[in-house]
């Protein structure tokens, strides 16, 4: 957490409010989150304007006017909260807050992170492709050019892998985590322990359609506030009440009335309905 829908929600919101703003200062209270010497970090970003906010997988990219890009990975519990000029900081802006970006118009962007796994990096914009190549990220699942044939080819390269693990591996497909892998598998009626080479063509097609459908719906509802996630304005996402299996162990399945179960696969949780998913 946050996964693709949550990061995309934040990206869309910040694109609307940050583009054109000039960074006048940045406060850093937890230096380890910034993967660069702080003097150099501040020298590069202070005075720069934000040209655009993009995303690759779960990483936010703030493209600056000086040829640099600010990369932010929120990891497990990171938040980016925007406050306009004159808007008093809320309690959540102060809690676990590690960076504050100040803009020329008086607005601020708060970066807080309870577990402190997230990071901030600077990278030359023209060399971003090199950075993401090193990350070895799979395709963006919501891009139009991510086709069923592409999905089939990636599956064929990992025949012995359990499908839950396959969906979680960012080298296969970018941006899917625990929440949406569970929901995609339920949508397709596929048990999380099934191996890729056991899947039937109809199941593969339904998995592909589920990836497209569920991620898009989650973005539409501003993501899932299951734990720490809040959007760029400090609001909860609305998709949690639409979850069919994730976080619902021992509850009734809304489809068949059976009991939703939870198991561990290599240290990660998987929620599923044993009746609906085979």
- DSSP E strands in the chain: the ranges are 23-28, 50-56, 59-64, 68-73, 78-83, 97-103, 108-113, 119-124, 261-265, 268-272
3 catalytic? Reply is yes
Tokens of 91: 């309690």
pLDDT at 135: 94
DSSP label of 155: H
HEC readout, 158-176: CCCCEHHHHHHCCCCCCCC
pLDDT at 130: 96
pLDDT at 87: 87
In sequence order, the 6+-apart residues with CB closer than 8 A to the CB of 73 are 58, 59, 60, 118, 119
Residue with structure tokens 């048990």?
A: 191
Write down the domain spans for the chain: 4-135, 148-272
pLDDT at 93: 63
2, 5, 141, 192: the catalytic one is 2
Question: Going by CATH, does the domain composed of 4-135 fall within 3.20.190.10?
Answer: yes
If you average pLDDT over every residue of the chain, what do you get? 96
| Positions of the chain with pLDDT lower than 70, given as ranges | 92-93
Q: Convert the pLDDT of each residue in 225-252 to its tens digit.
A: 987 899 999 999 999 999 999 999 999 9
Kindly report the length of the chain.
278
Beta pairing partners, 97:
112
pLDDT at 227: 78
Backbone angles phi, psi at 276, to 5 degrees: -85, -20
192 catalytic? Reply is no
55, 56, 58, 79: the catalytic one is 58
Tokens of 159: 């025949």
Tell me how far CA of residue 135 lies from CA of 8, 29, 87, 127, in angstroms: 19, 27, 37, 13
pLDDT at 224: 97
21, 42, 268, 274: the catalytic one is 268
143 catalytic? Reply is no
pLDDT at 92: 67
CB atoms within 10 A of CB 184: 25
pLDDT at 43: 98
The rounded distance, in Å, linking the Cα atoms of 203 and 76 is 30
Three-state SS for 126?
A: helix
Q: Among candidates 123, 125, 145, 118, which has minimal Cα distance to 229? A: 118
Which CATH code, of 2.60.40.60, 2.60.40.10, 3.20.20.140, 1.10.8.50, is assigned to 148-272? Answer: 1.10.8.50
With b meaning 16 or more CB within 10 Å and e meaning fewer, what string describes 122-158?
bbeeeebeebbeeeebbbbbbeeebeeebbeebbeeb
**pTM given for the model:** 0.95
3, 6, 8, 140: the catalytic one is 3
6 catalytic? Reply is no
């Amino acid at each position: 957490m946050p996964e693709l829908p949550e990061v995309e929600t934040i990206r869309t919101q910040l694109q609307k409010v940050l583009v054109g703003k000039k960074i006048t200062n940045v406060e850093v209270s937890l230096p380890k989150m910034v993967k660069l010497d702080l003097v150099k970090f501040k020298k590069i970003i202070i005075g720069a304007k934000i040209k655009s906010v993009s995303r690759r997988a779960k990483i936010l990219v703030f493209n600056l006017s000086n040829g640099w890009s600010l990369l932010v990975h929120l990891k497990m519990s990171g938040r980016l909260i925007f406050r306009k000029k004159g808007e008093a900081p809320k309690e959540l802006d102060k809690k676990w807050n590690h960076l504050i970006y100040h803009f020329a118009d008086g607005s601020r962007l708060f970066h807080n992170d309870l577990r402190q796994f997230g990071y901030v990096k600077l990278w030359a914009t023209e060399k971003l492709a090199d950075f993401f190549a090193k990350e070895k990220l799979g395709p963006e699942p919501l891009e139009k050019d991510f086709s069923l044939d592409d999905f089939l080819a990636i599956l064929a390269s990992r025949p012995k892998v359990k499908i839950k693990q396959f969906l979680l591996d960012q080298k296969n497909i970018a941006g899917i985590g625990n929440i949406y892998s569970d929901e995609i598998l339920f949508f397709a009626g596929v048990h999380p322990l099934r191996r890729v080479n056991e899947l039937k063509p109809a199941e593969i097609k339904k998995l592909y359609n589920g990836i497209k459908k569920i991620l898009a719906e989650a973005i539409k509802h501003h993501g899932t506030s299951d734990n720490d996630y809040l959007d760029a304005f400090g609001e909860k996402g609305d998709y949690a009440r639409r979850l069919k299996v994730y976080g619902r162990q021992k509850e009734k399945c809304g489809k068949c009335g059976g009991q939703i179960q939870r198991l561990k696969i290599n240290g990660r949780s998987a929620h599923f309905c044993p009746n609906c998913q085979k």
